[in-house]
Amino acid sequence: MFNLVVVLIVAICLFALISSIYFIRKQQNKALDKSASMAAVRHPVIANPIVIAYFVFPVVVIIGAILWAIFIR
């Protein structure tokens, strides 16, 4: 059961990450925000907080699952 949940979380995060990168790249060619920082203009994927969350969320879930497994015993 635990393995299934982890696989589902990873699959959802990968799908969301890939679709976000696709839409960021697509939007990048259409609009230019004058108030955007130069870091966000040069690195639109890395400077996007949603994309950062897609990397942080699975790590936090895995750490939480490990801690949960340790303290439940």
Q: Return mean pLDDT, the chain.
A: 76
Instruction: Name the nearest CA neighbour of 58 among 22, 7, 4, 18.
Output: 7
Predicted model pTM: 0.51
H/E stretch holding 59: helix 49-72
The CA distance from 69 to 67, in Å, is 5
Q: What is the count of structural domains for the chain?
A: 1
What integer pLDDT is reported at residue 60 of this predicted model? 86
Tens-place pLDDT, residues 2-35: 778 778 878 887 888 788 878 777 776 655 656 6
Full residue range of the structural domain in which residue 65 is found: 2-72
The CA distance from 23 to 51, in Å, is 11
